[in-house]
């Protein structure tokens, strides 16, 4: 069945859209970075858009004309073998469906008067490529009461189907037309919060809120001016998430883009301060997170409180993976909308033993394999003809059929000018797979020089980071292959993701966290196995990963390939056929969420009497999804526990009031169990806080939740204890850490047991103490990469730990303030500043400057730039040699190619200029404060 070698593109059967793209001889304007394509011609000079999938003259990508030199590996050829006529007809029909409904309809344009959007807002949407909307979006927006903010909304649509735009329009319209009202947009991950914040700031630029001038007629002009000044016309977008350094408050923002935890805290504070009436709309993205066992109850708490308030607050919930949308809409008293429309169709395939089958035939495939296993002879491909065959490889590195398929599909995609997203199950696998794919990619000499230049710029940017350039990335990026996982620093992940989104990188290998955490589309999504870590992925996660395939404005079709072996084929078949699980409440008794829900409601003054608490419970999803008597029994049990733990007081009239401890727990955003644990430790600390060192404070700052995931390296733990001074040893012994016990663990090689309550408490203490060493190092200006090496953990893990600790430390400070422990609060607050700055006290001012963290600040200070003023007055060229010293690995410039060295110099010089500009702003602000005083 093999084709002649001199005709590599002559196939027997259906040609995929990538094969068709290879045969094109034209060029098309790049579309990277666009959210959506215009439905109107924006200029005669631009190339025409695709008319039909794979059958018009333009496909948007060009196969490189330069014959690449041989790499160390050569990816296997993929040959099509299915019936051409049947598959060709299918492709044509699919193209027609994709273009269905694109005729002219005034309601498909945001400028339509029916939406009532300001010209400046419509222009901003157009500037990012949103000229028109899909029919389903128009139908959803125009449902009765939604644009007026009178109805709540729950809706679901496939990934890439335009969900966010509906919520954006409703939210922005509400804020613009009601200048005194605010919005909260809730997202599950920090990366999504940061991405959305940038997007919204671009959309609201130069957009003004409406003001009612009629109220000012006949009024005192000065009073009118004050009202105008109070109600600023510009729309302020602020991000709230753990580790963020924003000083903005609820009063300083119009749209708060928040993580789940921060959003819940904002709503609690607004209720307690009686400013909840300022809230006009709440958007809950990724609503399926209601089912998350760790954070889902917080989403349910938010909605429950808003439903009980019965304020004029519009609630909008959306997700791509909801199965019981109607039930959730009933709970929220909302309009619901279900869309199955995808502007870019997706073809799903299963890859087994170097053969590619349509995913729809997976069950038949498994049954055939099972039957053939009991037969002495018989070929699988004889019984079920595959869609395509991946040729076996003669290279030893590609002998494994899974690896061979992954490399062949990835390189085939990249060579045709498309982007491939490869999902694998571990961080280590990401790096291994990226390395082997890069070996089969075209050599740098065969790459377009402009594209190669961008890759060299990316390398220089990563090399200029304080953590330096990862040696594996150094080898893969130049070939257009990157990897992305939680073990990398946030800066590394951001640069890599942006480079892939811009088309600088052709292949990105990632863990499943990327599927939910970053909005990156791909022409082909390649999933290696059905496991992420040790567990099988669920239907929702599989849909998230597959949903990355194809994105309007970048591709005309998407393809997903799930590569699996015999051992997991049964699980894969079950997974492909599985329905989306129904969303359930996380307030059930075994999950203990209702206990926190009741404490927050009472502490914020939302409810107090028994009947009011019952009404509150009736607003929960829990009440909607279980027997009413059981829900009330769970409520009664939670109240008894809260009273028994001294978090609530029960009055004679059966009403309840939060104690000072209960108020402190809610104000600090701790779960009741964590709050009680913190209370016991702080109460002991008040009696003998070790203040002549910093070990005790950093132990206190270590989140309790971290103890569940921290793995102690006992020899490292012992080494760190041996280096402690007398103060540090006293602090550890005071909190319950015994050096003798650590020595026994080293010698025995045992692990901590956590079976009994006493063992759980001991394990929590030791894991927090071990983690506290890392926090201490961070605050004492030890470089991130040195800490990662010292504790044998990824750099990204250290950075994530620091971000988690920022939020927990802020909670500890609030806890002490609510408990009237002023002195302890002051000590913790000072150390929190050090933790955020990553520096000792003498560098806190310098650490406010952009790019100047602890180690960088120390080097600048030691080399003559002792304060912000000195930095503001510096010459950028004088900072360059110091910034080059920041990387502890110290890039040896003489080892770099002259072109690379030049690019590296430019990147460092650019950062020096940003540092000086930032220092100038801070210095001017300080001078203005001095003048005002």
Tokens of residue 510, six digits: 């990632």
C-alpha to C-alpha distances, 630 to 291, 328, 337, 623, nearest whole angstrom? 20, 20, 31, 9
Residue-wise pLDDT for 401-432, tens only, equals 999 999 999 999 998 888 999 998 888 899 99
Q: Would the pLDDT of 373 be above 90?
A: no
pLDDT of residue 20: 45
Q: What are the tokens at 52?
A: 């039909």
Q: Are strands 656-658 and 355-358 parallel, antiparallel or unpaired?
A: unpaired
Q: What is the dihedral of CA 429, 434, 440, 444, to 10 degrees?
A: -160
CB 422 within 8 A of CB 466: no
Q: Copy the structure tokens of residue 527.
A: 């999933």
For the segment 696-708, what is each residue's pLDDT rounded down to a tens digit? 888 988 888 877 7
What is the rounded CA–CA span in Å between residue 200 and residue 345?
28
User: By the 8 A CB rule, do 163 and 544 touch?
Assistant: no
Please give the pLDDT value at position 653.
87
Q: What is the pLDDT of residue 232?
A: 63
The DSSP symbol for 726 reads H
Least confident of 563-577, 592-606, 778-792: 563-577
Q: What is the 3-state secondary structure (H, E, C) of 585-648?
A: CCCCHHHCHHHHHHHHHHHCCCCCCHHHHHHHHHCCHHHHHCCHHHHHHHHHHHHHHHHHCCCE
Tens of pLDDT, residues 338-364: 998 888 888 889 898 888 988 887 777
pTM over 0.85: no
* pLDDT of residue 833 exceeding 90: no
CB 482 within 8 A of CB 492: no
Angle between helices 714-722 and 739-748 (to 10 degrees): 150
Task: Write the CA distances from 670 to 100, 679, 703, 706, 772, integer angstroms.
Answer: 50, 11, 10, 14, 19
Please tell me the total number of residues recorded for the chain in this structure: 933
Model pLDDT, residue 46: 36
CA-to-CA dists, residue 66 to 77, 456, 487, 901, angstroms? 19, 20, 37, 27
pLDDT at 647: 96
pLDDT at residue 64, rounded to an integer: 38
Determine the average pLDDT of the residues in 134-162. 92
For the chain, the C-alpha Rg in angstroms (whole number) is: 30
Cα dist from 342 to 31, 90, 158, 169, 558, whole Å: 19, 17, 6, 20, 10
pLDDT digits 0-9 by tens, 196-207: 999 999 999 989
**Which domains does the chain carry?**
114-212+230-338 (3.40.50.300), 346-577 (3.40.50.300), 589-658 (1.10.10.10), 661-837 (1.10.3380.20), 839-933 (no CATH)
Q: How far apart are CA 302 and CA 188, in angstroms?
A: 14
Per-residue pLDDT band for 217 (boundaries 50, 70, 90) equals very low
Least confident of 138-147, 324-333, 800-809: 800-809
pLDDT of residue 378: 57
pLDDT value at position 487? 86
Work out the end-to-end distance of the chain between its first and last CA atoms, rounded to an integer number of angstroms: 86
Residue owning tokens 């291994």: 432
Which among 600, 587, 136, 570 has a CA at the least distance from the CA of 367?
A: 570
Tokens 């419509």 identify what position? Answer: 122
**Distance from C-alpha of 926 to C-alpha of 933, rounded to nearest angstrom:** 11
State yes or no: pLDDT of 115 exceeds 80.
Answer: yes
Strand ranges (DSSP E) for 353-484? 355-358, 388-390, 420-423, 481-484
Residue tagged 């390398």 (tokens): 459
The model's confidence at residue 891, banded by pLDDT at 50, 70 and 90, is very low
Q: Are 604 and 666 in contact (CB under 8 A)?
A: yes
Q: What is the pLDDT of residue 896?
A: 63
Segment 513-536 mean pLDDT: 78
Residue whose entry in the numeric block shows the structure tokens 């913190």: 678
Which H/E stretch holds residue 774? Answer: helix 757-779
According to the model, what pLDDT value does residue 10 have? Answer: 33
Q: Is the per-residue pLDDT at 22 higher than 80?
A: no
Q: Cα(610)–Cα(652) distance, rounded to whole angstroms? A: 11
The answer, yes or no, to whether residue 676 has pLDDT greater than 90, is: yes
Query: Is residue 528 within a helix (H) or strand (E), and if so which, with residue range?
Result: strand 524-528
**Range with top average pLDDT, 314-318, 748-752, 803-807, 845-849:** 314-318
Integer angstrom CA distances of residue 177 from 116, 150, 210, 284, 476: 10, 14, 5, 21, 50
Q: How far apart are CA 398 and CA 395, in angstroms?
A: 5
> In the predicted model, what is the mean pLDDT of the chain?
81
| Residue 600, pLDDT score | 93
Q: What does the pLDDT read at residue 766?
A: 93
């Amino acid at each position: 069945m093999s084709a002649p070698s001199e005709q590599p593109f002559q196939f027997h059967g259906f040609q995929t859209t990538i094969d068709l793209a290879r045969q094109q001889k034209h060029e098309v304007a790049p579309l990277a970075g666009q959210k959506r394509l215009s439905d109107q011609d924006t200029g005669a000079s631009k190339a025409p858009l695709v008319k039909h999938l794979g059958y018009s003259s333009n496909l948007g990508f060009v196969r490189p004309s330069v014959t690449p030199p041989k790499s160390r590996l050569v990816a296997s050829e993929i040959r099509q073998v299915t019936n051409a006529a049947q598959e060709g007809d299918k492709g044509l029909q699919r193209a027609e469906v994709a273009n269905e409904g694109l005729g002219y309809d005034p309601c498909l344009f945001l400028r339509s008067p029916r939406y009532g959007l300001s010209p400046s807002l419509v222009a901003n949407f157009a500037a990012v490529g949103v000229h028109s909307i899909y029919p389903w979006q128009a139908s959803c927006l125009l449902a009765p009461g939604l644009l007026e903010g009178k109805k709540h909304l729950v809706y679901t649509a496939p990934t890439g189907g335009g969900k966010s735009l509906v919520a954006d329009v409703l939210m922005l319209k509400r804020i613009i037309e009601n200048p005194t009202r605010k919005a909260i947009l809730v997202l599950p991950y920090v990366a999504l919060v940061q991405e959305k914040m940038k997007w919204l700031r671009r959309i609201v630029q130069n957009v003004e809120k409406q003001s009612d001038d009629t109220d000012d007629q006949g009024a005192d002009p000065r009073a009118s001016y004050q009202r105008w000044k109070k109600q600023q016309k510009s729309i302020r977008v602020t991000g709230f998430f753990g580790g963020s350094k924003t000083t903005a408050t609820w009063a300083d923002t119009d749209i708060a883009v928040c993580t789940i935890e921060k959003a819940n805290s904002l709503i609690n504070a607004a209720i307690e301060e009686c400013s909840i009436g300022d809230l006009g709309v709440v958007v809950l993205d990724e609503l399926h997170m209601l089912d998350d066992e760790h954070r889902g109850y917080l989403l349910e708490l938010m909605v429950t409180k808003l439903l009980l308030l019965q304020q004029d607050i519009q609630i909008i919930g959306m997700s791509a993976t909801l199965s019981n949308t109607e039930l959730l809409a009933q709970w929220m008293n909302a309009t619901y909308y279900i869309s199955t429309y995808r502007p870019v169709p997706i073809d799903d395939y299963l890859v087994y033993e170097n053969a590619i089958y349509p995913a729809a035939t997976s069950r038949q495939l498994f049954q055939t394999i099972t039957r053939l296993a009991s037969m002495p002879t018989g070929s699988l491909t004889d019984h079920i003809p595959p869609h395509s065959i991946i040729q076996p490889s003669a290279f030893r590195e590609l002998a494994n059929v899974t690896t061979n398929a992954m490399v062949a599909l990835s390189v085939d995609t990249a060579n045709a000018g498309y982007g491939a997203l490869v999902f694998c199950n571990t961080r280590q696998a990401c790096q291994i797979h990226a390395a082997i794919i890069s070996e089969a990619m075209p050599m740098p000499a065969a790459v377009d020089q402009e594209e190669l230049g961008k890759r060299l710029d990316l390398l220089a940017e990563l090399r200029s980071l304080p953590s330096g350039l990862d040696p594996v990335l150094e080898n893969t990026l130049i070939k257009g292959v990157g990897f992305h996982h939680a073990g990398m620093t946030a800066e590394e992940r951001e640069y890599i993701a942006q480079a892939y989104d811009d088309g600088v990188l052709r292949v990105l290998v990632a863990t499943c966290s990327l599927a939910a955490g970053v909005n990156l589309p791909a022409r082909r999504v390649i999933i290696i196995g059905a496991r992420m870590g040790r567990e099988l992925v669920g239907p929702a996660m599989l849909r998230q990963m597959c949903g990355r395939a194809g994105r309007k404005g970048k591709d005309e079709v998407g393809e997903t390939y799930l590569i699996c072996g015999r051992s997991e084929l049964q699980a894969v078949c079950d997974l492909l056929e599985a329905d989306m699980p129904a969303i359930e409440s996380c307030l059930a008794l075994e999950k203990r969420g209702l206990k926190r829900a009741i404490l927050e409601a009472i502490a914020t003054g939302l409810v107090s009497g028994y009947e009011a608490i019952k009404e509150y419970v009736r607003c929960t999803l829990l009440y909607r999804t279980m027997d009413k008597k059981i829900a009330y029994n769970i409520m009664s049990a939670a109240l008894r526990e809260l009273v028994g733990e001294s978090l609530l007081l029960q009055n004679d009239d059966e009403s309840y009031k939060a104690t000072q401890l209960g108020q402190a727990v809610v104000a600090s955003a701790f779960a009741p169990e964590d709050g009680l644990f913190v209370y016991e430790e702080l109460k002991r600390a008040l009696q003998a806080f070790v203040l002549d060192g910093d070990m005790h404070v950093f132990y206190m700052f270590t989140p309790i939740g971290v103890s569940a995931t921290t793995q102690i390296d006992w020899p490292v733990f012992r080494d760190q204890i041996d280096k402690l001074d007398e103060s540090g040893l006293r602090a550890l012994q005071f909190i319950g850490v015994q050096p003798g016990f650590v020595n026994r663990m080293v010698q025995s090689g045992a692990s901590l047991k956590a079976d009994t309550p006493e063992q759980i408490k001991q394990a929590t203490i030791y894991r927090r103490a071990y983690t506290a060493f890392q926090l201490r190092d961070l605050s004492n200006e030890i470089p991130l990469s040195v800490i990662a090496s010292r504790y044998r953990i990824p750099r990204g893990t250290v950075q994530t730990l620091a971000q988690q600790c920022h939020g927990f430390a802020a909670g500890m400070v609030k806890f002490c303030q609510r408990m009237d422990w002023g002195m302890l609060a002051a000590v913790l607050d000072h150390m929190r500043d050090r933790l955020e700055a990553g520096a000792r006290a003498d560098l806190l001012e310098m650490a406010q400057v952009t790019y100047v963290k602890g180690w960088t600040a120390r080097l600048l200070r030691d080399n003559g730039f002792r304060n912000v003023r000195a930095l503001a007055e510096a010459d950028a060229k004088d900072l360059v040699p110091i910034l080059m010293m920041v990387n502890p690995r110290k890039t040896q410039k003489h080892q770099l190619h002259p072109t690379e060295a030049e690019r590296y110099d430019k990147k460092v010089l650019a950062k020096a200029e940003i540092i000086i500009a930032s220092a100038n702003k801070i210095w001017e602000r300080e001078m203005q404060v001095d003048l005002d005083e």
